[in-house]
Amino acid sequence: MPNKRLMLLLLCIIILVAMIGFSLKNGRNTTWPEKLIGDTTGVFQNIFHTPAEYFAGFFGDIKDLKNTYKENERLRQKLDGQTQYEAKLQELKDENKKLRDELGHVKSISDYDPILATVIARNPDQWYKQIMINKGTKQKVAKDMAVTNEKGALVGKIKSSGLNSFTSAVQLLSDVDRNNRVATKISGKKGSKGYGLIEGYDKKKQTLKMTILEPDEKREVKKGDLVETSGTGGVFPQGLTVGEVTDVESDAYGLTKIAYVKPAADLYDLDHVIVVNRSVATGEEGS
């Protein structure tokens, strides 16, 4: 029985080989079963070939799209890093310029002992009244020391009530406290025009109010005149820039002149300041 099965298997293999050789023979006419199988196969190939190519191209496009997206993300991250780098570089340039301005001002007040400080706090409810700085008694900051911005324009003075070991409160020129006074000198293009006293702030005009105490009768105070500290108050040293006259008018009684002075320092935006430690006090007057 096993021999018969083996003989049958060998016979089938011989017949299959013979048929393959016969079908590959050149010049032989194909039979109708072969034609039917070939035509059927061709039809099915044509039917499935186009969709197969479409889906192959579709998935290829998806792969290309993913690669493009990844490349764009990589370039975007690189661009964001470049933008952050440029922003940081500009920030460092601005800080460097401010520090250079501070050093330039230090040279201009070489008669005093300047203490460089940074604004660390500002209460929104007291925005135009005071600021907090990062220097205190440990850095030899004391009551009533003058405070300027990095360009030497007067900002205010140290308050005794806000003076601590490592921080200090600065009373700004724009504080409407009537005791917040500054003795000033008024100058035009041709010299002095008299003296005045800063003793108020006009919130609407955003200017300091200066009473003209000793006007020069021959030289009228007018718009554009320079206002500086006179050094006669015992608090502020002489020659610190206060601002520029924007308007002059008579008081309610018509007896004295009131000048409105635009501060030279931007009191709204302060980052770095200088506390002026005077080595020699002058004069006598409540300023």
Range 142-145, long-range pairs (CB < 8 A, 24+ positions): 142/277, 144/235, 145/275, 145/276, 145/277, 145/278
Residue 228 and residue 243 share a domain: yes
Q: Is residue 23 part of a domain?
A: no
Q: Is residue 42 part of a domain?
A: no
Q: Is residue 33 part of a domain?
A: no
Residue 87 and residue 155 share a domain: no
Residue 145 and residue 87 share a domain: no
Q: Is residue 151 part of a domain?
A: yes
Q: Is residue 254 part of a domain?
A: yes
Residue 257 and residue 211 share a domain: yes
Residue 274 and residue 241 share a domain: no
Q: How far is the CA of 221 from the CAs of 212, 218, 246, in angstroms?
A: 9, 10, 10
Who contacts 176 (Cβ-Cβ below 8 Å, separation ≥6)? Answer: 129, 200, 201, 203
**Which domain covers residue 142, as residue numbers?**
111-173+265-281
- Find out whether 156 and 266 touch, Cβ atoms under 8 Å: no
Q: Is residue 40 part of a domain?
A: no
**Gap between the Cα atoms of 170 and 143, Å rounded:** 10
**Gap between the Cα atoms of 251 and 199, Å rounded:** 13
42 Cα distance to chain centroid: 71
Q: Is residue 250 part of a domain?
A: yes
- Find out whether 233 and 207 touch, Cβ atoms under 8 Å: no
Residue 199 and residue 242 share a domain: yes
**Gap between the Cα atoms of 27 and 249, Å rounded:** 123
Residue 209 and residue 243 share a domain: yes
Residue 247 and residue 185 share a domain: yes
- Find out whether 150 and 273 touch, Cβ atoms under 8 Å: yes
Q: Is residue 212 helix, strand or coil?
A: strand
- Find out whether 151 and 117 touch, Cβ atoms under 8 Å: no
Single pTM value for the model: 0.62
Residue 234 and residue 193 share a domain: yes
Backbone torsions φ then ψ of 197, nearest 5 degrees: -145, 115
**Gap between the Cα atoms of 19 and 24, Å rounded:** 9
pLDDT at residue number 283: 39
Total number of domains constituting the chain = 3
Q: What is the CATH number of the domain that holds 197?
A: 2.40.10.350
Residue 82 and residue 64 share a domain: yes
pLDDT at residue number 25: 52
Per-residue pLDDT tens listing for the chain (287 residues): 566 776 777 776 776 555 555 554 544 455 555 555 555 555 545 555 555 555 555 556 676 777 777 777 777 776 666 667 667 767 777 776 776 676 666 555 556 778 999 999 998 888 889 999 999 999 999 999 999 998 889 999 999 888 899 999 999 999 988 788 999 999 988 788 889 999 889 888 899 999 998 766 677 888 999 999 998 877 888 889 999 999 999 877 777 889 999 999 999 999 999 999 875 444 333 44
Residue 212 and residue 70 share a domain: no
Q: Is residue 35 part of a domain?
A: no
Residue 269 and residue 155 share a domain: yes
Q: What is the CATH number of the domain that holds 125?
A: 2.40.10.340
**Gap between the Cα atoms of 13 and 137, Å rounded:** 110
